[in-house]
Amino acid sequence: MKILVTGGAGYIGSHTVKALCENGHTPVVLDNLSRGHKPSIPAGVEFLEKDIADPDLAKVMKDLGIEGIMHFAAHSQVGESMQKPNIYYENNVVGSYRLIESARLAGVKNFVFSSTAAVYGEPDVVPITEDSPHRPTNVYGRTKLMIEQMLSDYSNIYGQRYVALRYFNAAGADPSGTIGEDHSPETHLIPLILDAALGKRPSISIFGTDYDTPDGTCVRDYIHVNDLASAHLLAMEYLTKGGDSNYFNLGSGNGFSVKEIVETTKEVTGIDFKVEIGPRRAGDPGTLIASSDKIKQLLGWNPTHSNVKDIIKDAWNWHKNHPNRYNDK
């Protein structure tokens, strides 16, 4: 199947492109490289250095014979979204509208969307199910929810079928060590801890030790990036077999505290690094854990890489062998 992968040079997109290739599909990567990395694209994969809002995109899809779209292209930093909402609404919402409309004009009916658990905001109950209230607490989460609503309207009115996948904390790297996580600036916990282990930063900070959790630090649900990739393939297969539009959580169902992640990283790397304690950050919920029962039951998804020690081991393999990440900016 020929699949357009927007943001295919990004973190989760690049891992999904690799999985598509390994499973007999033909991905076409579309990325403007504003935040993606060309070296992450496998050799031989067609690459279009374009924006998702490109006015010629419908024609490109038709000419290439695109049969489905996996949409990863988005700005995704929560803090930045609260400081620069304009670029989030422009890139995420307006850009996604242009992409969805191009797909309609090109007659591409199958659309898998990279959404986020940030659409839920502060949960009333954990684990969080797909029917939990949508109360995003930041601009990033609001933009993703708006895109889901657009997809729902296009599905109901035009018959464009979609699956939205709401990730919890994506982490890890492909075990091959050839691709991994490279954000600038980096805001994700595990890469920041590994930078401390590598001596690239003087310490790692834990923000808040007085949460209502077993050890007082925030608890999160970490999911291996390769398990996310496999979910995208299952979602596209579901759509091509005639499945109705739907949305699913993607998490391991297990919660790990910041302290547990720090201690496991010390164990995996064999390096003792400095840890500093700071005050809580505004808007950080104490516990976020997913219920992924729905996708397991309906699509047969089974996360096989998401043991937290394996996640950190794979991430460490990438970081220690690529201390400057892709080094392409």
Neighbours of 132 (CB within 10 A): 18
Cα dist. 93→31, 117, 143, 268 in Å?
A: 16, 17, 6, 40
- Each residue of 205-257: pLDDT tens digit? 999 999 999 999 999 999 999 999 999 999 999 999 999 999 999 999 999 99
Chain Cα centroid distance, residue 67? 22
Cα–Cα dist 108/3, whole Å? 10
For the chain, give every domain's residue range: 2-171+222-250, 189-220+253-321
Cα–Cα dist 230/66, whole Å? 20
pLDDT given at position 236:
98
Nearest CA-CA partner of 160 in 150, 175, 146:
150
> Could you tell me the fold of the domain covering 2-171+222-250?
Rossmann fold (3.40.50)
Residue 222, helix vs strand vs coil? strand
Beta strands at 110-116 and 219-220: parallel, antiparallel or unpaired: unpaired
pLDDT given at position 285:
83
Annotated catalytic residue within 88, 140, 162, 167: 140
Nearest CA-CA partner of 134 in 152, 120, 115, 124:
120
Global model pTM greater than 0.85: yes
Q: What is the DSSP letter of 240?
A: H
pLDDT given at position 131:
96
pLDDT given at position 195:
95
140 as an active site residue: the answer is yes
- Homologous superfamily (CATH) for 189-220+253-321: UDP-galactose 4-epimerase, domain 1 (3.90.25.10)
Q: Which residues of the chain have pLDDT under 50?
A: none
Q: Length of the chain in residues, anyone?
A: 329
